Structure 1
Amino acid sequence: MIEIFGIPLPAMASQLLLGLVNGSFYALLSLGLAVIFGLLNVINFAHGALFMLGAVLTWMGLEYAGLNYWLMLGIAPLTIGVLGALFERSLLKRIYKLDHLYGLLLTLGLTLLLEGVVRAFHGVSGLPYSTPEALQGAVDVGFMMLPIYRVWVVLASLVVCFATWFAIEKTRLGAYLRAGTENPRLVEAFGINVPLMVTLTYAFGVALAALAGVLAAPVMQVSPLMGQNLIIVVFAVVVIGGMGSIMGSILTGLALGLIEGLAKVFYPEASSTVVFVIMAVVLLIRPAGLFGKEK
């Protein structure tokens, strides 16, 4: 059997695949955070709860409405996006000119509210969600069995992430969004509805979190607390990549997922802390993050 640094190749490959799957979730979630912070200047602590709500809505759609996984890929992000738009219009818009701490406290309160509501109805035990039939099974690639669903998660995440980056960085709409956050009065003079654009941006950011929740439902236990530990790592990813950097969030999320996977192979005890060690080192060397802009 082929070994790499004394580790059997199948074991190494399976951990790297698992790390890449986790990295895909990190990338999607950190991308949503980066979009919201970069364009709205709000630290959205509710992102983990909205990720959880996307997974719970997917489970509810299957259990109560008989809706399949493919329908929920569209319905859950759209529903959470509408919820996010209502939240932005009713509460978040009132604190844009205040210190970042107010946005952090407000979204933390929303997190506790959403988790409490889901816990009241479903408890804290995991809710099982089976892999869709079309994505069940695995493919034999010679040195390992490659689970089809995990490959789907990685590919779907990459497509969404890079499509989002392209839309924001390379299109006229993205130029309007960036200009609207820097000089809203000038953009409004061209007849563009900046408040609506801000609302839709927040809705899109939280819809990305819900999409990650749908993708995670078959591979994680769906529960009210599933976003808590994940969001802490995702905030670390955003800090390492650079607050507000779209490409930084994508690349850093994927890279840190792979690094976690390697840590589980070579030194499992460090796998849960390696991200935070990297964050501390990056902040010491480059406080703005790897892809952030120094002020």
Structure 2
Amino acid sequence: MFDIPINLVLGQAVLGLVNGVFYALLSLGLSVIFGLLGVINFAHGAFYMLGAFVAWILLNYLGIGYWPALVIAPLIVGALGLVIEVVFIRFLYKLDHLFGLLLTLGLALIAEGTMRAIFGPQGLPYNIPDVLKGAINLGFMYLPIYRAWVVVFGLVVCLLTWAVIELTPLGAKLRAATENAPMVQSFGINVPVMLTLTYGAGVALAALGGVLAAPIYSVDPFMGTNIVIVVFAVVVIGGMGSLLGSIVTGIGLGVIEGFTKAVFPEASSTVIFLVMVIVLLTRPAGLFGKSA
């Protein structure tokens, strides 16, 4: 019934792995913000989009190429996140999650509309760095070197972020601050500043994903909207606030999505949401989440 070349299946699975790294990177930032701050950051896709636009602006207006942009763009967008946290987000910590979702949705729409008004709705190209051009022969497909770089670098960033939060004294302080802020404050730690920096770090992760995506996808105002719904599904499946769940689930679902494109293309755009429904029915807290 399914007379599908194995090379096609393997090739789509590998390409799905690339998408999975983007899902993992963005859902990790979402999980950092929700897990440590309790805010459902619907503007996460907008920060991803802004990261790509900042990289494009740096290249086309200032002549600053891809490699510096990997650092500069996340820092710029992360700094914007710091301002947003101080002006808006910090007043939501004791309110229902719905208020945070609605506020950040509004911020996302403002960012998208602003970029569309300035640059137009069309996609803008961003060239792959010369050193990452070409392809690797995997036997069953030629994998672009740039996409291989995205997989390796994205995984390293994800694992380092997880290690910092879960295995270091700084991460322990962050987790303690979210559980009992007055106690942590009594040790001389400035909890509000720590939470502000945490939000900025989560936003910077999204912006980094945008820089990585710029040479693969066109840089356009809608790129964040196109991915954020899928990323939210990844976070729900992995478990809200679970960093490890975000990484494993993001990569796994990317591969499943790629495999589905080869076997049953009509279902590739919905398979992640089908998995989400099944997980919510069988394990409402998510695969890696803690049951109440």
TM-score by length of 1: 0.97
Q: In the aligned structure 2, how far is the partner of 1:217 from the partner of 1:142?
A: 27
Mapping of residues 59-70 of structure 1, within 5 Å: 59-70=56-67
The alpha-carbon deviation at position 36 of structure 1 amounts to: 0.1
Q: In the aligned structure 2, how far is the partner of 1:173 from the partner of 1:147?
A: 37
1:133 matched to 2:153? The reply is no
Contact map agreement 2:30 2:44 (CA 8 A) in 1: yes
SS in 2 for 1:7: coil
The alpha-carbon deviation at position 147 of structure 1 amounts to: 1.0
- Aligned amino acid, residue 63 of structure 2: G
- Aligned amino acid, residue 130 of structure 2: E
Q: In the aligned structure 1, how far is the partner of 2:108 from the partner of 2:223?
A: 12
1:172 matched to 2:169? The reply is yes
- Moved >4 Å (runs of 4+): none
2:207 matched to which residue of 1?
Answer: 210
Mapping of residues 32-43 of structure 1, within 5 Å: 32-43=29-40
Q: In the aligned structure 1, how far is the partner of 2:224 from the partner of 2:246?
A: 18
Mapping of residues 262-281 of structure 1, within 5 Å: 262-281=259-278
Contact map agreement 2:20 2:254 (CA 8 A) in 1: yes
1:8 matched to 2:5? The reply is yes
SS in 1 for 2:143: strand
Contact map agreement 2:28 2:158 (CA 8 A) in 1: yes
1:75 matched to 2:72? The reply is yes
2:179 matched to which residue of 1?
Answer: 182
Long gaps (5+) in structure 1: none
1:24 matched to which residue of 2?
Answer: 21
Q: In the aligned structure 2, how far is the partner of 1:12 from the partner of 1:67?
A: 38
Q: In the aligned structure 1, how far is the partner of 2:139 from the partner of 2:262?
A: 20
Counting matched residue pairs gives 291
SS in 1 for 2:223: coil
Q: In the aligned structure 2, how far is the partner of 1:124 from the partner of 1:200?
A: 32
Of 139-148 and 285-294, more deviation after overlay is shown by 139-148
- Aligned amino acid, residue 95 of structure 1: L
Q: In the aligned structure 1, how far is the partner of 2:56 from the partner of 2:11?
A: 27
Long gaps (5+) in structure 2: none
Given the alignment, which residue of 237, 249, 252 partners 2:249? 252
Mapping of residues 27-176 of structure 1, within 5 Å: 27-176=24-173
Q: In the aligned structure 1, how far is the partner of 2:68 from the partner of 2:272?
A: 34
- 1:46-86 deviations in Å (ceiling 9; x for gaps): 00010000001111111111110001000000001100000
- 1:124-150 deviations in Å (ceiling 9; x for gaps): 000011111010001223332121000
Q: In the aligned structure 2, how far is the partner of 1:136 from the partner of 1:11?
A: 23
Q: In the aligned structure 2, how far is the partner of 1:274 from the partner of 1:141?
A: 27
Q: In the aligned structure 1, how far is the partner of 2:10 from the partner of 2:64?
A: 34
- Aligned amino acid, residue 228 of structure 2: I
Q: In the aligned structure 2, how far is the partner of 1:272 from the partner of 1:146?
A: 23
Q: In the aligned structure 2, how far is the partner of 1:143 from the partner of 1:99?
A: 50
- Aligned amino acid, residue 137 of structure 2: D
SS in 1 for 2:136: strand
Q: In the aligned structure 1, how far is the partner of 2:245 from the partner of 2:55?
A: 29
Q: In the aligned structure 1, how far is the partner of 2:281 from the partner of 2:220?
A: 36
SS in 2 for 1:139: strand
Q: In the aligned structure 1, how far is the partner of 2:42 from the partner of 2:138?
A: 40
1:240 matched to which residue of 2?
Answer: 237
